[in-house]
Amino acid sequence: MEALYATVTGFLAASGLYLALRGRTFPVVVGLTLLSYAVNLFLFSTGGLTTNGAAVIREGVTHYADPLPQALVLTAIVIGFAMTAFSVILAMRVRGDQGSDQVNDQRGEEPKEEKS
Amino acid sequence: MMHHLIVLPVLLPLLSGLLMLVKRDSIVLPRRAIALASTAALLVISVVLVIQSDSGEITYYALGDWQPPFGIVLVLDRLSALMVCLTAFLALGSVAYACAGDDRKGSNFHGLFQLQLMGINGAFLTGDMFNLFVFFEVLLIASYSLLMHGGGKDRTQAGFHYVALNLAGSAMFLIALGVLYGTTGTLNMADMSQKVAALDPDRLGLIKAGAFLLLVVFGLKAAILPLYFWLPRAYSSAPAPVAALFAIMTKVGIYAILRVYTLIFGGGAGELANFVQPWLWWFALATLALGGLGVLSARDLRNQVAYLILISVGTLLVGVSMNREAPLAAVLYYMIHTTLVSGGLFLLADAIGEQRGKAGARIVPGRGVTQPALLGLFYFVGAVTVIGLPPLSGAIGKALLLNAALPSEQPWLWSLLLLSSLAGLVAMARSGSTVFWKAGRGDSDGPRLKPAMLAGLILLLGASPALSILAGPVTRFTDASATQLLDHDAYAEAVLSGNVAGGDS
């Protein structure tokens, strides 16, 4: 299970990184989202992978899963959602303001160069 | 009652920020009153905290009465009290300046500003690694919206770069935290410092990778050399009061480096003791050199100030990487000086740009400013102190740092620090003479400084002469802070010994 989990996390992170380095805003946003998924999976696994483990201490139970990474991952997911929503809106705003979805649009700067 | 004081710098801005969401109509006056009152109250609280921390005792506040190492704690020592106080002072200056009209250019400026203060204060006070991440996110998401306050093509594009870069930074922060948690089994900083010292040698490589990844994240916030490219553009396109507040944002990164790499990976970390500092030394020197080149190449006053911030980041990190008492004390003094002065210079660049009409803040001969004497005086004070000419506070900070260098460090530090100061001197002299002397007559009916703007400028730029007059008491405090910072065992003991300061048990 560890090998599968690690492969999936690594693949997600690699795809996210590739997309985040693209030149248009939409792939960048999708890439950052994939990256945050990969990070969430990674964070989830930091307590060790256990199946059928109890998260809360109870009498007569000896097999436990680490509850803290679950709490951390929940926080990270919520924050990640907010950031994704924000960056989607921002990408649309960039598109509207510049008339192009290039991350590095140089057209806006040209008139300024001539003036100075 | 007194021990609840530690949590107030986080709660107060949160409450006043929420209060401003209630009525979001165009009447701005009540919001201004709330913002000013809340920031002034924050300043008072933080001064009390500084006095409280000066006893030398490290106190903590256990949120929800969950005791460390399991619960989240806020820890007050001299360094965090100093940083919170510095934030409140800077914020008061920028809020005052914003009340002159910048706050009307978009919706809900003051609410976002308070939330950003909450994030910054929380990051300075927290004693828990994951909580540090959460407060970083709070201050970042507020800064995203503040950066684009007022809108405009330049701002949205600079904003998108800033957001994308910081999202990637957050992802790396989480990976680093995961690695650190996986190897040490704790997130409490004090507890982690003890776990790191007693670590299984097999896991050294893993935790080293985590620590370096954290350095990348903090370096991105602090704008060290290979990671600084977002800074000049983002800072020079932000609205002036926001850019002034952003002067503390790079210091959040520096504070995090200072805290994590003196406490967790500091002298008590066994095999990992101080392993980051030799790396940091070279990167900081390179930042210093490049900041000097950048300040010469800037063609806009705001861009120039952004590069001056880069020089200050290099200076501060050089001191941090020397990791001894004297340089750290010098760094803390210089940090107070540079934060307030660069905040003030952003405000000044905006005020100059507003009075010059079409020429704006670009460094070209054009129409003169309406109030050349007043703005010229501010510019002179700001330039003298930011470059580090005596008698103002910049000179004292730099002299303390130069004096603290060992003979083996002197050739690099002295030459680069003095050369970058020279570059700053040339650049500031050139832009000052272009803006004030090569200018035509100002429009006598043009816009003048409003009282609120004047108050903001006096508060931030006037801090520099005040700092050099009060250099005695301030350096005594920073000396004590540096001693306390290097005494990592005392910190761990204060947090973990179980004498409850927070809660009511």
Number of structural domains chain B divides into: 1
| Cα B334 to Cα B312: distance, rounded to the nearest angstrom | 8
Q: Taking 80 as the threshold, does the pLDDT of residue B162 lie above it?
A: yes
Residue B199 covered by a domain = no
pLDDT of residue B133: 95
User: Average pLDDT for residues B452-476, to the nearest whole number?
Assistant: 92
The answer to whether residue B18 is domain-embedded is: no
Is the per-residue pLDDT at B233 higher than 50? yes
Query: How high is the ipTM of this complex?
Result: 0.89
Percentage of the residues of chain B whose pLDDT score is greater than 90: 61
Query: Cβ A103–B164 below 8 Å, yes or no?
Result: yes
CA A1 to chain B, closest CA, distance in angstroms equals 18
Residue B171 touches chain A, beta carbons under 8 Å: yes
Q: Tens digit of pLDDT for each residue in B355-407?
A: 887 888 888 888 888 888 899 999 999 999 999 888 899 999 999 999 999 89
Quote the minimal CA–CA distance from B163 to chain A in Å: 7
Cβ–Cβ below 8 Å for A72 and B130? yes
State residue B503's pLDDT score.
44
Q: Is A85 on the interface with B (CB under 8 A)?
A: no
* Residue B377 placed within a domain: yes
- Domain A2-49+67-101: top CATH class: mainly alpha
Which of B156, B161, B165 should be substituted to probe chain A, the one whose Cβ sees the most A Cβ atoms within 10 Å? B156
Distance from the B126 Cα atom to the nearest Cα atom in chain A, whole angstroms = 16
Q: Which residue of B141, B153, B168 is in closest CB contact with A97?
A: B153
Query: Are the Cβ atoms of A83 and B170 closer than 8 angstroms?
Result: yes
Whether a cis peptide bond, with omega within 30° of 0, leads into B69 is yes
How many CB atoms are closer than 10 A to CB A63? 9
B71 in contact with chain A, both atoms CB, cutoff 8 A: no
Asked whether the beta carbons of B481 and B329 are under 8 A apart, the reply is yes
* Domain of B467, in residue numbers: 276-492
User: B184-224, pLDDT tens digit by residue?
Assistant: 989 999 999 988 888 888 888 899 999 999 999 999 999 88
B35-90 pLDDT, tens digit per residue, is: 999 999 999 999 999 999 998 889 899 888 888 888 899 999 999 999 999 999 99
Round to whole Å and give the CA distance between B53 and B377: 37
Q: Using CB atoms and an 8 Å cut-off, which of residues 177-216 of chain B contact chain A?
A: 177-179, 181-182, 187
Per-residue pLDDT for chain A (116 aa), expressed as one digit of tens each? 889 999 999 999 999 999 999 988 899 999 999 999 999 999 999 888 888 888 888 888 888 888 889 899 999 999 999 999 999 999 998 888 888 888 876 654 444 433 33
Residues in chain A with CB shorter than 8 Å from the CB of B362 are 116
Q: Are the Cβ atoms of A90 and B159 closer than 8 angstroms? A: yes
pLDDT at residue B324 tops 50? yes
Distance from CA of B209 to the nearest CA of A (A): 15
Write down the pLDDT at residue B14.
Answer: 95
Q: Point out the residue among B157, B171, B177 whose CB comes nearest to the CB of A36.
A: B171
B153·A76 Cβ contact <8 A = no
Mean pLDDT (chain B) is 90
Closest of B33, B432, B83 to residue B247, by C-alpha: B83
Set of chain B residues whose Cβ sits within 8 Å of the Cβ of A90: 144, 148, 156, 159-160, 163
Render pLDDT for B22-32 as a digit per residue (tens, 0 to 9): 876 667 788 89
Q: Choose the closest CB to A35 out of B163, B171, B299.
A: B171
Look up tokens 């910054």; give the residue.
B120
Top residue of B155, B167, B434 to mutate, by most chain A CBs within 10 Å, is B167
Tell me the mean pLDDT in the region B133-143. 93
The answer to whether position B125 is within a domain reads no
Q: CA nearest B413: which of B294, B282, B261, B305?
A: B282
Mean pLDDT of B4-20: 92
Burial B327-339 (b: 16+ CB within 10 A, else e): bbbbbbbbbbbbb
The ranges assigned to domains in chain A are: 2-49+67-101
* Residue B392, domain member (yes or no): yes
